[in-house]
A and B are shown apart, each in its own frame.
Chain A
């Protein structure tokens, strides 16, 4: 891992309107993600974990604070356009967010066709098959529509789609939520494979503790809008902080 963090969040604050009032979800989140590592953010549901991810990829702008990717500010109008950074990032959404009107193959090829017009259809097909195999899906299922796939297959297809643009950073939003333990284990293995085989930097949000322990180099805990713990899985187990103890014990 290099010394300078790939992603830096500094005193990130974000509020959303709720019942006519502003509810502060992030209350000064500061976090560094090193190049090549897998950092897992844990915390209660609705605590703002996904909000952190959406800030990292420029889908949300903070009320205050700063997001830097490779040292470039993407969170303010004065900074670089988030669009330039996004091409180097991929995201696996909680509900997969596959394009329902397209079959599995088209889901993978769509963005590549737009961004790499020099590729022929044959090359696109080859790339699609390669990405499907990378996530252990048969190329034969490329003609299936997303609604014909199981939850685990959808997650894997969404990962294949994210990989199609060959990102350096992958963001995973609850990758194992709603999956049975065996399928969740397959997804965990894929997250590890992406790091080992492709060297991608991964930022994962989850409340699935077995998954977090399996894939994380470091774990950060978000509690009441702030990062209250960051360290290795072993350090997390040994932590005396009451919110951490309560979360890990559950």
Chain B
């Protein structure tokens, strides 16, 4: 005797499988659009709280310290090595074609426009974005977000706004610091491994130096900072129940931020050059 499900399958209209397939396809296509729409609405909702910032800048300063100052050691280490690796790679690629005196030029261009903002943001997505997602996810899990709402304390004002603005402010500052560290890392290799004089290295960095490149790097850094903080907060809000849900939220925050950083990197370069 057929089961009820089997019976229903035999009885269904001839076009039903196609209809189900199209429904599934529609849901697949609309899902990302819906998520993007949600993100835009949340972003605008956070920005609408901007006037409250002037009533309590303490939360913003605390977040800048947590996001920016606490990340300095990590950014220092990765940036010095980025500069060093860039120096080695540049010399390997240019060897026999371009004199070593232009090493500083290559390092400065690459670090300011590309590696400084992008790699710093990717590292911060792992350090800061994941931490924000885990923190907000835990607050949600422990009903602290509900408790805030019950006491008429707006979570977007007290939690989201300071983190988002801290992302916009702290990441560009860290990127500037990162670029300086990378230039020092490049100089260390150029000076002590390749025997380039410090004067030649500095002259190389100044050759073809453009303020526009710095501006592009900062535009990227501001955008990436917002992405890191916003995706962290949004994934935290979406976190499922329990430790697994919080862990998943942290992972999704890092993945989303990394993807958006690289997509925005392309779009900004494409539009500004």
Contacts and interface: CB of A to CB of B under 8 A. Distances in A.
Interface of A: 54, 57, 59, 83, 86-87, 89-91, 93-95, 97-100, 110-111, 114-115, 161, 165
A86 B148 CA distance: 11
B151 A165 contact: yes
B248 to A, nearest CB: 17
Contacts of B153: 110-111, 114
Nearest to B157: A114
Contact of A86 (B142, B143, B144, B150): B150
Contacts of A97: 142-144, 146-147
A95 B150 contact: no
Nearest 7 interchain pairs by C-beta: A97-B147, A97-B143, A111-B151, A93-B143, A91-B150, A97-B144, A86-B152
Contacts of A115: 152
Contacts of B149: 59, 86
A3 B150 CA distance: 27
Contacts of B144: 97-100
Contacts of A98: 144, 147
Contacts of B147: 91, 93, 97-99
15 contacts: A83-B152, A86-B151, A87-B152, A90-B150, A91-B147, A97-B142, A97-B146, A97-B147, A100-B144, A110-B151, A110-B153, A111-B151, A114-B153, A115-B152, A161-B151
A147 to B, nearest CB: 11
A86 B144 CA distance: 16
Contacts of B151: 86, 110-111, 161, 165
- Residue among B143, B146, B151 with max Cβ neighbours from chain A (10 Å): B151
Contacts of A100: 142, 144
A99 B147 CA distance: 9
Nearest to A60: B146
A95 B152 contact: no
A187 B176 CA distance: 56
A94 B152 CA distance: 19
